[in-house]
Amino acid sequence: MKRFSILSLLAAALLVFTACDKIAEDEYVVFAGASGTWYDSEATIPAVQRAFVEKYTGVRCVNCPNADVVLHDLSEKYGDQLVVAAVHVPNNFGKPLHGEQDLRTEKGSTWFNTFFSPSQNLPSALLNRTKVDGNSLDIIDPQARFDDKIDAVLSATPQVGMMLSCTRDGGVYNAEVHIQFNQSVSDALTLTLLVVEDKVYTTQEGRTADGIVEFENYEQNHVLRDVVTDAWGIDVVADGNQGTKRMIVLPVSLAEGWNADNCHLIAFVSNKATREIVNTAQCNL
Amino acid sequence: MNLLYKSPRLLLLLTLVLGGTTIHAQGIMGGRVTGNIQLDGQISSADSIIGAQDVPEWLLMNARADILYTNGGFSAGLRFEAYQNPMLGFDNRYKGEGIANYFVSYQGEKLSVTAGNFYEQFGSGMILRAYEDRYLGIDNSLRGLNVTLRPFNGVTIKALAGKQRYFWNYADGMVRGIDGEVNLNSIVKCMAESRFRATLGAGFVSKYEDDQTIAFPDNPSYRLNLPLNVGAGAVRMDLAYGNWGLQAEYAHKGQDPSVMNNFIYRDGEALMVNATYSQKGFSANVQAKRVDNMSFKSVRSESGEMLYINYIPAITKQHTYAFLSMYPYATQTTGEMGLQGDVMYKIKKETLLGGKYGTDIHINGSIITSIDTNNIGGAGTLGYESDWFKTGDLYYADASLEVAKKLSKAVKLTCTYGYQVFNPVVEGHNGPLHHNHIVVGDLTWKVNKKNVLRFEAEWMGSDSQYDPNVDDKRCGDWIMGLVEYNFTSAWFVSVSDQYAYRDGVGNYYNVSVGYNHGATRLQLGYGKQREGLLCIGGVCRQVPASNGLTFSLTTSF
C-alpha cells in the first residue's frame, strides 16, 4: 500500500510537471493585435498632412512636466494637425508612485526599448519617427519648442491622406480608417491604431524653485493606453498607386477604468521598413 | 589607520584574513558552526604586447565566506560575496557585495527539505543541474524549495521549484522539476546478491516564463507565439556486471525558441552512453554523445553562460598541463556529436618495460563534430532537419599518450605527447583549423620527506600563425619551463615561463609563492596571464590578458 501511494504520488507529480506547451506548426508566428480586411474606399479623404509626436515620459521624471507645457502650447497652435501620444517608459521613471495606477503599457515599452537605450534621458520625443540623415532617429528634447521641425513635416505634400472615424456597436467601438494614395508609393506600409486618454490624474514628480516635489492629482494627457494593432502595425493591403483609396474597420475595446469620454483613437501609417510615419489622424470615441 | 577608512576593500580584506585565521568551529546551542573563506585579488597594469588593459581600480577582488550551522539533521547557512570590483574576466554585473545565498535544511532518513538557495542535479544533468563554479563565475543556484523523499531503501524521489540566481537578482523564469531513481538490487529480493547491478531513473523539468513580444523578423506585424511552459524529460540507466559497466541517458526537450537557437521551434534531444571495463592494472571506457538543440535556459533571451537549467557533460579529456589545456573544448549545446576512448594500463613490475616499479600508460582520444543540419528556415520555423547518424564539421579532436614511470624511490618521470585539432568556430569566430603537437616532460624529485622539486618542460608546435586581425594569442609555436620547490611541507615556490618562439606573440613569465598552514592557504603570484578560455567540464568563460600581482587566501574553520 505504501509503495502504491508513493507511485501514485510520483505519477500525479509527473502529470503536473508534464505540462508543457506545444505550439502547432502553423501557429509559430501569430498576429500581434487587432486585424481586419481591407476594402476599396469610396470616401472623400482630405489631403491633409499631420504630424505625430510621441512623447516618452514617466511619473518619476522631474523634467517631464516641462514638456507637457510645451506640447500643450504646440497643440493649441497646430490644432488637429498635431497628434500627440504620451508613452510612459518601462524603466524606473515610469514606475507608479504610491501604488497608483500604472500608465506603462507592454507595446509602449516595446517602442521605448526599440528606439532608445535604457539610459535615455527623459523627456524625449519623436516626430513622425523621422531620422537624421536617414540613419539614426531624430530624438527631440520636448522641453523646448520645436515648431520648425513640425512646420517642416506639415509643409510636405502628403503621400497618403488619412481619415479616421469611430462608431459604437453595443459595447464595442469600431475604428474606421480610410487612406488615399496621393502619390504612388512603392514601399510597404503599415497601419497602427492606438488608444490614448486625457485627464488621467496621478502623482507626478517635478521640479520647482524649491527643488524636486511631487504634484498631487497631476493631469496626464495623451496617455497611451493601448496599441490596438501589433506594436508595429498591420500591413496596408493596397497597390500603392496614386489615387488608390482603401479602408479597414478595426474593433477597439476599452479596459475597465478608462473613461471613454476622455479617450481618443490615433491611427498612423508608417513605412514598414524604416518605421517613419507617413501620416496620422485622430478621432474622439 | 586612515587608509583603512579610506579603503573599504582593504578593510574587508584584513577583516577576512584576520578573522578567517582565528575563527574555529564553534558550538552554539548544541550545534556546530563551520565555514570557509576565500579571497582572491588582482592588481593588473596595461601591457600592449599581450593585450592587457589598464585597470582603473588599484585592486580587483572577489571574496566569499560560507557559514554553515548544523545541529543534528538541521542545518542553515549563508554565503557572503563581495566583488569590489570583479576580477578580470568576471562579469561586471557581479559588482557589489551582500548575502548572495542562504538556506535552511532538514536532512532526515526518509525526508530531506531545503528552503532557500540550493544546488541539485538530476542524473548527469542533461535536464537539470543547479550548480556553482566560483572559478567560472557561474552560480545557477535555485531559490525555492527542494524536497527529497526516500520512502524505502533503493528509491529516491526529488521535487523542486525555484528561480535561478542571476548575479544579484533572480531570473523571471520559474523552474519546476521532479526526478525518481530506483535501485533494483535494493527493491527486488532476488537481485540483492546478484553480480548484475541496475539503477534506473527518470526526471522531468519544466520552466515557466512570461510571454514577450519577439517580432517575426520578416514581418514586424507578426510576432512569435512563444510556449510559456517548456518541458524537458530524461530517462537513464546505470548497469554493471562484474568488471563491466554501462551508463546511458536520453533527454528530450519540447519547443523552446530562444536567442540560443535563433528562436526556432525544433524539439531538442541528447543521448549519452558510457561503457566501462576495469580490472586491476587496466581500465577502459568509451563514451559517445549526440546533442541536438539542447540549450535549456530559464530566460529565453539570455545568451552566454548564465541561466542554464541543464548541463551537457563534456567528454573530452580535461588536461592539466598548460599547452595541452591551451585549447579547451567548449560544449556546443545547440548541437554536437562526440566520441571518446580512454585506456589506462599498468605494466607490471619486474618486466622488461615495467622495470623495478612498473609503468603507467594512459591513452586518450576524443573527437567532436557538429551535427549534420539541413536548414529549412530561421526564427519562427522548425529551423533545420538533421540526419541522426550523420556528422557535420569537425569541432575538436584530441589524442594523447601519457607514460608515467618511477625511476627510483625518489624520482618519477611523466612524459606526454598530445595531438589536437581545434576549430575556432566553437569559440564563435571563423578561421582555419589549428593543428597542434604537444610534448610534456614532468620530473618530480622527492629530495627528502619535506622537500620536493618538480621540473616541467613543454613544447607545442602548431600550424597556426598569429594574425593581428584575429588576435588569437595562442597561435604559434611555444616552449615552456617550470620549476617548483615544495619545502618544509608548508611553503612552495614556483617559477615558470611560456614563450612563443615562432609565429606567435608573448612571453608569459610567472613567479608564485605559497604557504599552507592547517586549513589555510595563502598564495602570491606575479606575472602575465595570456587571454583565452577557461573551461571546466566544457563550460567556459573568457579570461582576458592580465599583467601584475595576484593573491589568494583560502581558509576553513
pLDDT at B62 over 90: yes
Q: What are the distances in angstroms from CA A272 to CA A183, A234, B298?
A: 17, 9, 33
Asked if residue A17 belongs to a domain, the reply is no
* Matching residue, cell 580587483: B60
What is the residue range of A244's domain?
A: 29-284
Range with the poorest average pLDDT among A34-43, B216-225, B312-321: B216-225
Closest CA to B553 of B42, B41, B23: B41
Mean pLDDT of B77-86: 95
Q: What is the ipTM of this complex?
A: 0.80
The percentage of residues in chain A with a pLDDT greater than 90, rounded to a whole number, is: 67
**B151 alpha-carbon distance from chain centroid:** 33
Range with the poorest average pLDDT among B163-177, B207-221, B289-303, B346-360: B207-221
User: Which amino acid belongs to residue B473?
Assistant: K
Asked if residue A223 belongs to a domain, the reply is yes
Mean pLDDT of B43-50: 90
- The alpha carbon of residue B215 is apart from the nearest alpha carbon of chain A, in Å, by 9
Q: Which residues of B touch A107 (CB under 8 A)?
A: 213
Asked if residue A24 belongs to a domain, the reply is no
Give residue-wise pLDDT tens across range B202-240.
999 999 987 766 777 776 567 888 998 999 999 999 999
Asked if residue A64 belongs to a domain, the reply is yes
- For residue B4, what pLDDT is reported? 37
Closest CA to B216 of B186, B257, B245: B257
Q: How many domains does chain A have?
A: 1
Asked if residue A1 belongs to a domain, the reply is no
Name the interface residues of A facing B (CB cutoff 8 Å).
Answer: 2-3, 6, 9-10, 13-14, 17-23, 25, 27-32, 106-107, 110, 190, 229-235, 272
- CB contact (8 A) between residue A30 and residue B230: no
- The alpha carbon of residue A183 is apart from the nearest alpha carbon of chain B, in Å, by 24
User: Which amino acid belongs to residue B163?
Assistant: K
Q: Which residues are registered as beta bridge partners of B403? A: B361, B415
pLDDT-derived band at A50 (thresholds 50, 70, 90) equals very high
Q: Which of A9, A14, A22 sits opposite B255 (nearest CB)?
A: A22
- For residue B291, what pLDDT is reported? 97
> Are B227 and A20 within 8 A, CB to CB?
yes
Q: Which grid coordinates are listed for A206?
A: 517635478
Give residue-wise pLDDT tens across range A171-204.
789 999 999 999 999 999 999 999 999 999 999 9
Asked if residue A16 belongs to a domain, the reply is no
Asked if residue A11 belongs to a domain, the reply is no
What is the secondary structure of B201-249 as a DSSP string? EEEEEEEE------EETTEEEEEE---SEEEEEEEEEEEEETTEEEEEE
Q: Which residues of A touch B152 (CB under 8 A)?
A: 2-3
Q: Which helix (H) or strand (E) holds A71?
A: helix A64-78
Evaluate if pTM is beyond 0.80. Answer: no
Mean pLDDT of B249-273: 97
Asked if residue A264 belongs to a domain, the reply is yes
Sign, CA torsion B118/B124/B128/B132: positive
Q: What share of chain B is helix, strand, coil (3-state, %, to 5)?
A: 5, 60, 35
Which of B222, B301, B382 to mutate against chain A (most A CBs within 10 Å)? Answer: B222
Chain B: residue nearest A12 by CA? B178
CATH of the domain at A233: 2.60.40.10
- The alpha carbon of residue A24 is apart from the nearest alpha carbon of chain B, in Å, by 10
Mean pLDDT of A278-283: 96
What is the secondary structure of A133-185 as a DSSP string? TTTEEEEE-TTS--HHHHHHHHTSPPSEEEEEEEEEETTEEEEEEEEEESS--
Give residue-wise pLDDT tens across range B332-346.
999 999 999 999 999
Alpha-carbon span B146 to B165, nearest angstrom: 15
Closest CA to B160 of B116, B215, B201: B116
pLDDT-derived band at A132 (thresholds 50, 70, 90) equals confident
- For residue B555, what pLDDT is reported? 96
Which has more pLDDT, B37 or A4? B37
- For residue B505, what pLDDT is reported? 92
Could you list the beta-strand ranges (E) of B299-433: 335-347, 359-371, 374-375, 384-385, 391-406, 411-422
Mean pLDDT of B284-295: 97
